[in-house]
Structure 1
Amino acid sequence: MELHVRYEGDDDPDKCSARKLARFDLAELHRSTRATPPGIVLNPFAEQALSPADADHDRLVALDCSWETAQREAFDLDGVHRALPFLVAANPINYGTPFRLNTVEAFAGALVILGEREHAERTLSKFSWGHTFLELNEEPLRRYSECEDSTDVLDVQDDYLVEE
């Protein structure tokens, strides 16, 4: 599965997971919306959750920008918009915070849900904390990846939101 990033460049370049992915040729950065190819757009504001039913696509697209501009920017991208279900961040900036994933975590979570765990592991391997993301989210990711569709994913997510 191809990984593409609509890159805004409004964050600290030394802490940017998207830039690191690009350095290792694991993702392609795009500086404009127009240059970003369509695919499954990982949009935290999408109305439908990502599920294994979306596995027929061959491209994931993430938006790398500050959380303050994410909603406005995400709607400009072409493709099928899907929200990731409940997952907890493992990155040093948002560690333990639900739904505050950085770009590599969003890709890894999506890849596992879509049945591409090895690709997720390879992508996370470039980050010292990468394995922690999979460990923190092992159970929900397994359960989401066993769902049939978005409705099932939301039912599983509800189990975790009740606990929060």
Structure 2
Amino acid sequence: MTTFHRSTLTEYTNWLRLWLEAGNQPTHYYDRPFAGNMFITAERNFTTGGECGANAVSIIIPKGVQHTAGRLGHNQLYFMDGPSQQGHVIPVYNDPAFLELSEAMPAFVEAEQAKQKSWEKEAEYRRRLAASEMRNSDVGRWTARTSR
């Protein structure tokens, strides 16, 4: 008997709909589709082992299924009871299904996209500044000369 299966878009949007209806908000917007993200759905009671980084997963937990033991690590738990969540990330992806979840969702996505554009602009400015400073420093000139 398996413990998990890869979550479907419908399973996650059902949880997120309940989350939004309870007056909560998402925390992150990702400009990529839900498919391929590491969401799994628990099929029976399970444990975690403090998984971090690339080993961490987001777990949808149906009613009647329990996380019985273990450190959370970077794993995210999405309980259909409540709904409730352990962890800190409530993501929205660019699939059209997410925009249909609530009237406020398009504004949330637009605001998150604006933040991303601002961050990208700031990162590019800092990259150019660092490159300029490096070209004008003794260490920068030495590493440029010796790395060829």
Task: Please give the TM-score of this superposition, normalised by the length of structure 2.
Answer: 0.27
Please state which structure has a larger fraction of its residues in strand. Answer: 2
Larger Rg belongs to = 2
Task: Please give the TM-score of this superposition, normalised by the length of structure 1.
Answer: 0.26
